[in-house]
Structure 1
Amino acid sequence: MAYALAVRISLERAAEALRLEQSDAAFDEEIVMLSNVMRDLGFTWEYGELYVYRGEQGMAAVMSAIDRMSRIDWIAESIEDVHAFRLTDEADLTGIVSRRAGGM
């Protein structure tokens, strides 16, 4: 069973918490830290704000991610929202949309 976390961070609040400008390379490195934390816990970045866990730990992995994020001050201070959900059925519908866009 796969689980997903949608994590939305306010870049403005992150910049304030880090005391960095959004244009600084150091700011980008800190933002990448979130992806690294999620990867270290077994999540894969899918797109946008969405990370998916397909391992054996299930909801325990989700709770570990929440705990880890809450322990990183700048992340805790800049989180706008976090949603966790179980993926029960995944379907890639890209082909249907692409075919229709191509006039087929």
Structure 2
Amino acid sequence: MNEYYNNHYITTDPEGRITSGWCEGPCPSRDTSGAVCINEAGGYQFRLHPGGEENPPLYTEDGIPLYRWEGERVVRRSEEEVQADRAAIPPPPPSEQERLRADVDFLAAMQGVTL
């Protein structure tokens, strides 16, 4: 019996955090330039480890990578690593409503009005 295998790939950022993962089964024409093949004998669905979860989430709900590549294997990042990334996220800019409120407060202060 002839079995067909699919390659599984990941891409990483400069710190080794896994930023993307896919299988050539459902993505046969995806560019693999700069990608790392982590499994040359995988199934149709992407897995980080043989026998692991199919199409696992690669990010936390707020967009922090959950895994890193250690040159030869995928490793789950520690909670401390995830928290350090989370702490490095800059605060969001003020919303339109917050900017409007600041403008109203400024104008009121210029006119000597207390709100």
> What is the TM-score with the length of structure 1 in the denominator?
0.28
Asked which structure has the greater RCO (Cα within 8 Å, sep 6+), the reply is 1
